[in-house]
Amino acid sequence: MDHTKKSLASDPTKYGRRNINMKVETNVSPKTDAPDGMLAYKGLGAKDIRSAGVKAVNTDKMTKRMAWVAQVTAVRDERDKAAFAEIFGYFAPRVKSFLMKSGASPDLAEECTQEVMATLWNKAHMFDPVKASVSTWIFTIARNRKIDLLRKQRRPEPEELPWGPEAEPDQADAMGLQQETAKLGEALATLPPEQRKLIEKAYFGELSHSEIAAETGLPLGTIKSRIRLALERLRHKMK
Amino acid sequence: MRKMIDIKHHLTEPLLMGYAAGTLPEAFNLVVATHISMCDSCRAALAEYEAVGGEVLLGNDPVDVAEDALAATLAMIESGADVSAVVKRAPPPSNKGIFPAPLRQYVDGDLDDVKWRKIGGGVSQMILETSKEASVRLLHIPAGTAVPDHGHRGTELTLVLQGAFVDETDRFGAGDVEVANEDLNHTPVAEDGVDCICLAATDAPLKFNSLMPRIAQKFVGI
């Protein structure tokens, strides 16, 4: 495909003009003029997201998150390598860290990280900002690659839901979801350190609850109830 | 294909979290993915656990990638190598089908394609191929029949796909999943009417005293 061969440096301003200047505006933009149903499951275009309105709690964090959405959308719709480079720069080092904490050697984690980021490019058409935030989506790609490469297993996935008539993407929905996820991130960051560590171990480590119990010297029942407590606290913070 | 069914028994929090984190054995993942295919509330809960995973990923201290990592990744993309293409598609659902897509993948078909083997007492099974940490099988329990009394050493997940069974704890109908551990000794009995079809996974051998001698269990690993 021709458009994938564009040089990364070919048009650095193009990307900046479209996305870096993205502002969180206070009024909702008019609906796109696409024919009815055409956008039903294509998701939003980068321009739609840029102009969507929201009253964000934390404007900086929301701006960053909506910029990721715009970047992945630009990769999806325009095969934009500069946007891809931005996403890569932020997420690749975090994906690598995740894989190393999951037990991969640095070399394997490096290789696997590059594959995860290539998958992001190849599967960009599956990204839907109404269904998942960019961080969630990249996490699921990294998790699946981890299962495949590190654990050498197949990953059974739930059956896809058929697209209902209500599936038409809505800018406010996309905003709302990114905002919820940002709140979740804040809630996680402000958990007491022991509780946060337990949740991190459950996600990062190849540790079962009983292995966490062995490592921390706490009884299994205690680990389980502490994880439950941490999750309850997370939910409470989300309200 | 999707029917509205009334599900009472759902996946537990540790199972949803483990599936989201990717730390469960493959056999459990299959039961979880199959249940979620039938259950909208667990599907929504899974999305939340995956969102937590995404935030854990973000909060993680970054590790430097190789200097040429971006260039190497772009080269990989341009070479057209699609590492994600290994996923096997589920065969399309048949008219009489009752299996959700993830299960159809493992059976390579639907209920009509299951290769049943009798295991005694009228009960038949088909063991599905997964990684060795846990095992998963389809069970066919004729209506009105009891599964021999058994205990568990580890965790056993039983998902009902058709019919229903009743044990000491409750009734389990289509879509319901029972999570049993060491504490539960039960005798599931299939309800009268339709034969009961279940998907059952365990991470330790069931204690079916009469069916499998202990020594054989050790060597065969079931």
| pLDDT one-digit tens code per residue, B85-120 | 555 566 777 667 899 999 999 999 999 999 999 988
Distance CA A95, CA A101 (A): 10
Q: Any idea which of A38-52, B2-16, B66-80 has the lowest mean pLDDT?
A: A38-52
The answer to whether A181 and A129 are in contact (CB under 8 A) is no
Q: What are phi and psi of A153, to 5 degrees?
A: -125, 160
Q: Which two tokens stand for residue B8?
A: 């009472």
pLDDT of residue A203: 87
> What is the side-by-side strand order in the sheet with B171-173?
B171-173, B164-166, B189-190
pLDDT of residue B182: 77
pLDDT of residue B56: 93
- Could you tell me which of A63, A89, A86, A64 has the C-alpha nearest to residue A74? A86
pLDDT of residue A105: 92
- Alpha carbon of A22: minimum distance to chain B alpha carbons (Å): 21
Could you identify the residue written with the tokens 């293409």?
B85
- Where does the pLDDT of residue A15 fall: very low under 50, low under 70, confident under 90, or very high at 90 and above? very low
The answer to whether residue B128 scores a pLDDT higher than 70 is yes
| Average pLDDT estimate for A168-188 | 81
- Could you tell me which of A180, A177, A104 has the C-alpha nearest to residue A142? A104
pLDDT of residue B20: 94
Could you identify the residue written with the tokens 């969180």?
A24
The residue among B124 and A221 whose pLDDT is bigger is B124
| Average pLDDT estimate for A42-48 | 41
The residue among A125 and A8 whose pLDDT is bigger is A125
Q: Which of A2-6, A130-134, A227-231, B70-74 is the most confident on average? A: B70-74
List all residues 6 or more positions away from B103 whose beta carbon is below 8 Å from its beta carbon: A156, B30, B34, B161, B199
The answer to whether residue B162 scores a pLDDT higher than 60 is yes
The residue among B96 and B75 whose pLDDT is bigger is B75
Residue B57 CA to chain centroid, in angstroms?
26
Average pLDDT, chain B: 85
pLDDT of residue B213: 39
The answer to whether B165 and B150 are in contact (CB under 8 A) is no
- Where does the pLDDT of residue B204 fall: very low under 50, low under 70, confident under 90, or very high at 90 and above? confident
pLDDT of residue B116: 96
Question: Which amino acid is present at B161?
Answer: L
Distance CA A178, CA A180 (A): 6
ipTM, interface predicted TM-score of the complex: 0.85
Distance CA B48, CA B54 (A): 10
The answer to whether residue B211 scores a pLDDT higher than 50 is no
Average pLDDT, chain A: 73
Q: Which of residues 75-134 of A touch B (CB under 8 A)?
A: 81, 84-85, 88-89, 92-98, 100-101, 106, 109-110, 113-115, 117-119, 121-123, 131-133
Q: Which two tokens stand for residue A108?
A: 């394997």
Handedness of CA B90, B92, B93, B94 (dihedral sign): negative
pLDDT of residue A177: 86
Check CB contact under 8 Å for B13 and A207. Answer: no
The answer to whether residue A10 scores a pLDDT higher than 60 is no
Check CB contact under 8 Å for B60 and A89. Answer: no
What percent of chain A clears pLDDT 90, i.e. is strictly above it? 31
Q: Any idea which of A9-23, A189-203, B64-78 has the lowest mean pLDDT?
A: A9-23
pLDDT of residue A210: 63
CA distances from A225 to A6, A185, A199, A213, B214 (A): 53, 22, 12, 12, 34
pLDDT of residue B3: 54
> Which of A154, A196, A229 is the best substitution to test chain B (most B C-beta atoms within 10 A)?
A154
pLDDT of residue B84: 55
Strands B151-152 and B123-128: unpaired
- Could you tell me which of A217, A235, A62, A84 has the C-alpha nearest to residue B71? A84
pLDDT of residue B28: 95
Distance CA A203, CA B21 (A): 5
pLDDT of residue B32: 97
Distance CA B170, CA B141 (A): 17
Range A167-187 burial, b when 16+ CB lie within 10 A, else e: ebbbbeebbebbbebbbbbeb
Q: What are phi and psi of B37, to 5 degrees?
A: -60, -25
The answer to whether A207 and A216 are in contact (CB under 8 A) is no
Instruction: Search chain B and give the residue with CA nearest A224.
Output: B14
Check CB contact under 8 Å for A154 and B26. Answer: yes
Which 8-state DSSP code applies to residue B60? Answer: S
The answer to whether A81 and B74 are in contact (CB under 8 A) is yes
Note whether A189 contacts B: Cβ–Cβ < 8 A.
yes
Distance CA B145, CA B123 (A): 8
- Alpha carbon of A33: minimum distance to chain B alpha carbons (Å): 31
DSSP states of chain A: -GGGGS-TTS-HHHHIIIIIT---BSSPPPPP-PPTTTTTTT---HHHHHH-B---SSHHHHHHHHHHHHHHHHHHHH--HHHHHHHHHHHHHHHHHHHHHTT--HHHHHHHHHHHHHHHHHTGGG--TTT--HHHHHHHHHHHHHHHHTS------PPPPPPPGGG---HHHHHHHHHHHHHHHHHHHTS-HHHHHHHHHHHHSS--HHHHHHHHT--HHHHHHHHHHHHHHHHHHH-
Distance CA B42, CA A237 (A): 21
Q: Give the pLDDT confidence of B44-61 residue by residue, as tens digits.
A: 999 989 999 999 999 889
What percent of chain A clears pLDDT 70, i.e. is strictly above it? 63
The answer to whether residue A44 scores a pLDDT higher than 60 is no
The answer to whether residue B205 scores a pLDDT higher than 90 is no
Distance CA A181, CA A57 (A): 12
| Average pLDDT estimate for A96-105 | 91
